Amino acid sequence: MNNLISGFDGIYWYPNSSLLRIEEWDGEFTVFQPESGKTHFLNEMGLRILTVLDRSPATLEAICQELSAYFSLQLDAQFPGQIIRTLQRYEALGLITRVKENE
């Protein structure tokens, strides 16, 4: 877990748009992204990542801690890897951008 996180030291993610249209369906969400015209389907944790970043840019470690606290999860070795993959997917979709500290 520490090795994974250290590879993302000093990297912050922030959302590209605050204009997402979000609809909740019993704990699942459809999200419309105006810039791309795409509709995404997210579960609660997927959306929580976006709301965490919308509050303020955050590092992988901070995101994992937020999620852990919010969902009362005991973090295991695989969890940061799942979050990294999700962040990379969000990045590829243009939902979020990464920035290196002091850049």
Confirm or reject binding of residue 35 to other proteins (CB under 8 A).
no
Sign of CA dihedral 65, 71, 72, 73: negative
**Minimum distance of other proteins from residue 82's CB (angstroms):** 5
Confirm or reject binding of residue 34 to other proteins (CB under 8 A).
yes
**Minimum distance of other proteins from residue 44's CB (angstroms):** 6
Confirm or reject binding of residue 42 to other proteins (CB under 8 A).
yes
67: which 2 tokens?
A: 């999620």
**Minimum distance of other proteins from residue 99's CB (angstroms):** 21
Size of residue set near other proteins by CB under 8 A: 38
46: which 2 tokens?
A: 């997927």
CA distance 26 to 87: 24
**Minimum distance of other proteins from residue 41's CB (angstroms):** 4
DSSP secondary structure string for all residues of 34-90: TTTTEEEEEEHHHHHHHHHHHHS-B-HHHHHHHHHHHHT----TTHHHHHHHHHHHH
Name the site residues for other proteins (rule: CB under 8 A). Answer: 21, 23, 25-30, 32, 34, 37-46, 48-49, 70-73, 76-79, 81-83, 85-86, 89-90, 93
